[in-house]
Amino acid sequence: MTGQDLRETLTTLLPDSVLLEAVNAAGFQERERRLEALLFLRAMVLSAASPSGGRQADIMRAYFQAGAPEVVRGSFYEWFGPKLEQVMNELVARAMAYAAAHPVDLPSFLAIAKDWRIVDSTTIKLDKRLKDVYRGAGDYAAVKIHKTMSVGCGTTVAYHLSPAREHDSKHLTIDESWRGYGLLIDLGYASLARLRDCERFGAYVVLRLKENWQPKVESIRRGEVTGTFAAGTDLDVLLAEDVLLLDGKVIDADVTVGSGSQAIRLRLVGVPAPATGRYCFFLTNLPATVGPRQVADLYRVRWEIEINNKLDKSSHRLDEIDARKPSAVNAMIAATIISSIVVCLLAHKHHLAQKAVQKGALRTSPPLHAGLLARMIASAAHRLASALDLRGAKATAEWETLAGILVHMGEDPNWRHKGTVLDHLRGWKAPPKRRKPARNPQ
């Protein structure tokens, strides 16, 4: 990551012109002497990972430390209203569009799709007074954040909110916008209607086989078959009668799921899991050129969104929102998403730069750890905000210095132990761990 990468990312997501345009469109800044809107919005995003108290208190602290005129705490909290929500919605939409426009980096066999998207949700509890708007599964308030993450860019490209009591599945719609993309989902989104929509709109999909589904096997291209069987035989029957053996070899079959006019033809792949001694079965509409083990490895990539949710919660304190108004909750969630996008895009740009100089399969330099990078950005928030106002050679030097600090302090200290799932799929290997020199016995 260079100073130019850092500068471009922040000036694109937090530029004066765009911030002021959003502020003016929402009518957010009514009295300039009481509210410096640019300082306030930058404080919301850049202070997200600085745990010094409540989220709103941290924003207030960062705002005043940036040189804004002081106001009493109650007046400051009044700014977290519908106008701020409108501004933050505008900024987060811009951030997600900017992220989605970046070049994707996918392992070669995944390039069959424009990009792969992971869809999942995460839930955070809120002040009980908000339960009329965001009702949880019990007598409490909670909001569910439905996220769509790009595998190729490593960051969130879409999200929306709902009361936590609502089921995940109703919040995913496959339409024309999914054509040419790949979809990774867990069983919470599994439905025959969704699989038919993927076929209808030309989207690739991978998900685990649901237990109560009974796929009917039409043909088997890989697997140990001990006898003949009629097309349309239930998978459970073939396994129970040892016609299809689970002998440690991969299985690749064409199956039909559903019945009558609602039936859909898919691939069923089975891969042994050495840790459990059992098989994992997956349904997909990927062509047979993508092998069973590759399908299983691809499904493992779905874990990337769990890592991203952890970044939002542990580093950007998504689950520490202490607001008591729906508009304030929505605005602070948007600020967290923007902060997360900044971190993930910087890590993505650093990875692309590493890839450009990569020689052979052995990784030659450490990747950036998203959590460490987030903490470094928070600790350098004031300096980063000041750098946005610099010009000329002084600005160039400052951005290079800041980028060097972020890379040095954000490198993954455990990078030699093992690579990520995506590194494995790309063919990159972690270098052997360095041995410490023996101590001089004298």
Confidence band (pLDDT; 50, 70, 90) for 179? very high
Alpha-carbon distance 353 to 193, whole Å? 41
**Does the pLDDT of residue 395 top 90, yes or no?**
yes
**Is residue 217 within a helix (H) or strand (E), and if so which, with residue range?**
strand 216-222
Give the pLDDT confidence score for residue 239 in this predicted structure.
Answer: 93
Distance CA 57, CA 67 (A): 16
Please report, rounded to a whole number, the percentage of residues in the chain having pLDDT higher than 90.
57
* pLDDT of 261: 79
Q: Facing residues of 161 across strands?
A: 145
87-113, pLDDT tens digit by residue?
889 889 999 999 999 999 998 888 899
> Of the candidates 423, 426, 397, 400, which has an alpha carbon nearest to the alpha carbon of residue 412?
423
10 Å Cβ neighbour count for 24?
A: 12
pLDDT digits (tens, 9 = 90+) for 24-70: 777 776 555 444 677 777 777 776 665 554 567 667 766 666 666 67
Q: Give me the percent of the chain exceeding a pLDDT of 70.
A: 90
Higher pLDDT, 321 or 283: 283
Q: List Cα–Cα distances, 251 to 164, 227, 241, in angstroms.
A: 38, 15, 16
The answer to whether the pTM exceeds 0.85 is yes
Answer for the pair 194, 213: CB distance below 8 angstroms, yes or no. no
Mean pLDDT of 189-212: 94
